[in-house]
A and B are shown apart, each in its own frame.
Chain A
Amino acid sequence: MTLLITVYAAIAVTLIWYFKQDHSLRLGVLCFMYWGAAIMWLVDAIFEYADMGSEYFEPSAKEMLNDSFLGLSVVALGLVIWLIILLIKDPKGTVRDSLKRQAK
């Protein structure tokens, strides 16, 4: 479930990056982060499948729920990292302008 959720998040962000064409959003960072994690979990899944066989595709409800929570948490963590990078880089100068206004 973690792999699936991350792959869906990577696909969604890549599509937004492709159609939005707003490079100031720095969506590329998020794309690379999710795709990197998805590839790494894919390798993990391949090794687990080689070890467990078809049992890998029959997880218990508890395992699925835990993995789903983990997947959603990973997506949220990725978004938080991206948001922090966006606010620090501040490509549109919004943070800088807001701080300047408050400093007056």
Chain B
Amino acid sequence: MACFLVSAAEAVVVSAVNRRMELTKAQEKHTEEVEVVKIPVSVKLKWLTRMLTGGSFLLAFEHVWHGEVTAWFPFLTAMSSAADRAEMFKEMATVGVGMAILITAVWGAVCVAADAIIKRSSSETKIESERS
């Protein structure tokens, strides 16, 4: 009904946080140079934003396909009656929140794996440079 709205809302929040972090980072860059090789949090947040935004957009298309989203106010057919509204909110609270949680969990796993790969490759480079 409108489950994609939960992920879309999370995408907006994450995107705003990321923008704020990038601005702060740009200011900090002038004051100090960081030599540690690791993936910045802003890059990781960009991955999450892309998954949430892309997924929500494609799911919104599915809802248009099924006639659940309209081009006129209130844009959702489920908003027409109180019973449909209650069902919509229930779906958002269960399926919508479930989608947002799983995407965030998968993103968390990807971030851990990415950090491990970077750590492994930089330690391998260190060993090679020590040998030579």
A and B bind: yes
For the complex, is B122 an interface residue (Cβ under 8 Å from A)?
Answer: no
Interface residues of A in 37-92 (CB under 8 A from B): 37-44, 46-47, 70, 73-74, 77-78, 81
Interface of A is mostly: helix
For residue B15, CB closer than 8 A to chain A, the reply is no
**Contact assessment for A36 and B62 in the assembled complex, using a CB-CB cutoff below 8 Å:** no
Q: Number of B residues whose C-beta is below 8 Å from A?
A: 24
**Which segment of B22-30, B49-57, B81-89, B124-132 sits at the interface?**
B49-57
Q: How many residues of A contact B (CB 8 A)?
A: 25
Q: Which of A34, A38, A47 has a CB less than 8 Å from the CB of B98? A: A47
User: Measuring CB to CB, which residues of chain B are less than 8 angstroms from any residue of chain A?
Assistant: 3-4, 7, 47, 50-59, 61-62, 65, 94-95, 98-99, 102-103, 106
8 pairs of A and B residues whose beta carbons are closest in the complex: A33-B54, A36-B55, A36-B51, A32-B50, A37-B58, A40-B99, A37-B55, A43-B99
